[in-house]
Structure 1
Amino acid sequence: MKTTDFDATGGSRYYTVAKLGPNRSLTPEGYLLCLAVPVARTGEMLYAEGEILGGDGEAIKGDNDGLIRVSRGPEDLFRPETIASFEGKPVTLSHPDEFVGPSNIRQFSVGTMFNVRRGTGIEDDLMLADLLITDQRAITAVQKDGIEEVSNGYEADYDQAEPGRAVQRNIIGNHVALVERGRCGPRCAIGDEDMANKGKKVSFADRIRAAFKAKDADEVEKLASEAESMDEESEEEKAAREAEEKEKGTQDALSQILNRLGAMDADIQELKKAKADDSDEDDEGKKKETEDDGDLTDPETAAKLDDAGVKLYTGDAAKTILPLAEILAPGIKLPTMDAKTTDAQRAAALCACQRRALDTAYKTDDGKAAIDTFLAGQTADFGKLPVPLLHAAFIGAANLMKARNNDQHTRVSVNVTDFGKTTDVASINTKNRDFWASRSGARH
């Protein structure tokens, strides 16, 4: 299928012959065109101490954990010089060890970025660009290997605001890299080619088309029978059927959550056992250094995580935390990390993100109801909850709210005490974005 992509003025910008998804197409040569890719964002990014230098040539100082939260404002990211500096720059497959220039562009370039601009609406904190990926290795990496996040390579100035905080200014672009995990997080990524179809029910019309295309007589007859049944269904029967489907869907979702929590509980018990084996408790049973007699159900502050706690935030489990935090607290400021971030630093940041998300969600009626289900009678003091219980409550409550939000037959409304009235999800998202935007502006 030949297609032509048009720009905002109606002019032809790109010519493609195959549509792979909402934002992906192939050119006649087989190049991969990725439209409206978020390549950078405003807000905070996480660096390790020693990664960046200030204007005086001295390393920017980190906080007690050796982390630096770098703030990048819209006045810096979207200044005309910065946007122009990224126009026409090369796409690379991971970051090269040196900046790309005339002497090495053949070695590192796998494509080009065009049409660099600021996003609009809910994307007004994003820098967007169209990427034309021309190298077969890179096309395969995106399409088959899931290397979809992006990370800009650039020069910038950094000003120390206080220990652990800095401001980024005077950004000049050099390249954009395709990476497995970018510093800006999953928001800066090529749109998933299957995203438009994920979770959607196949329509009756699509099933008819597929049956005729496959020349499947049995399927056509089956569809005809279904059509007759739908014609004969009364309004009362339809209402009863939809209610039954809704109830079944909710029960299935809760069953999946409980099964997952059961598996998590087994993992937590193993971690508790490992922690007990490694403790310094003597034969007389004196208290551990944590002064909690080894009872992990007692509240504890968790400024630093032990080895058992860190293990909760590594591997596949860590990948689910950020999207689940967005479900609990839409608009929450998410930590951003890259390959240089250690497991301990990543675990501390993700644990803190869980605490903030639970605290924000608990201020809503729906959030409180979902979270209380998994607190096992503990007080909702998320700053002091033990890590295993915190993790279990976070996973369970987020999945429960996700199941409820996905119920397309139910109008979702939440009583939010912060705003003093019942509102819908879209309004909550808007108010959360405005709240965090004002917080970010006041801080820096």
Structure 2
Amino acid sequence: MQYFYNSRLGETRFTMSDGGLLCKDVPIGRTGVQLYGGEELDDIEPDSDGEILVERSEADVFRPETLASFEGMTFTVSHPIEDVTPDNWGRYAVGHVQNVRRGTGDQSDLMIADIVVKKAEAISAILDDGVDQISAGYDAEYQQTAVGKARQHDIIANHVALVPTGRAGKRCSIGDSKRMTTNNTWLAKLRRAIKTKDAAAMEEAMESVPTELTNDEGTGELPKAINITINPQQPLPKQEPELDAIATNDSGDIETRVAAMETTLAAILEKLGSTTDSDPDEEEEGRRITSDAAYHQDVVSRAELIVPGIKLPEGGKLASFKRTVLDAAFKTTEGEKLLKGIVGDKPDFAKMPKLSLDAAFIAASEIAKGRNNIQLNHRTTDSASPNRRPTAADLNKQNAAFWAKKGN
């Protein structure tokens, strides 16, 4: 496909005649295995870690209908909380995707497209802020293949999003900048790469080890490349010997590399010790990945606040449980008062998108917690104040007793 442009920013990035940004040859999806949380796929049984390995085959990713469905789809900044439709397109669209095809050579496992970006904020996010990863939004069917494993098929596109961190990793990205990664996020990425046996993600993780884990003062942010690329154009400074050995291992034996990665991860975890990060959101992400029990208990505790006495059925899925809790609460007078301001007059919890569901569930539990605290404080104040001000009923009772005595 040919394009007209005013200026060339690199091998694959161009300024168009109207000031828009053209990003050519951008990977927007890939085959292989990706990691999902059990709460994301209600109908699939997760493994003992509460996670699901989802595989996408070449036949599914490059199915003619799937490739065609991405043609002309909306480009957004982050994923909207709802599907993009003609009714809300103007709210979310910053550009579009075109010329969708399968990659060739070492990119034959990638779905490639050209992205035309029209909105100034999105162009600035790419060129100035270094936001560069891509995540596709789509509908798909999932088939359980084993406990904690599933196949994704019948993929139909809805939009393509620009995100700070995508599930597909750095291979599906615009640009080549290496931003610093805090410990918990980096460990989560490395753990995901090991579990999915994703060689490219392993390489990326080992090339971006946080400096506090390596004591390597020379490892900083690489200069931003002007053109769209897939692999770094210059190697990172050498890490500690065991890290460098893995990063430069060209044996191609994935099983051997996975075993080496696990050994390295154990050494890094030992070195990490009590180091903490200051970003509470990233700390929560790390805790949620490494401690499903804590997340499970949090959901159960919040449910109890919203609907006292409700219990999670044995083997029940957390996402379904949240829907049940909110639906049960809304059917009560108190619950309806609690939820109306959050979800409106006629919510459909069964069809509510996961992000909206999570937000409503947390908001409702926090409001319920505050309400309970107010009631508790009121009771405590009353019980601690025997000389409280008498009510009208108290005065009437006292007056009746007084005049009754007078009459005798």
Question: What is the TM-score when the length of structure 1 is the normalising length?
Answer: 0.45
Work out which of the two has the higher radius of gyration on C-alpha atoms and give 1 or 2. Answer: 2
Q: TM-score, length-normalised on structure 2?
A: 0.48
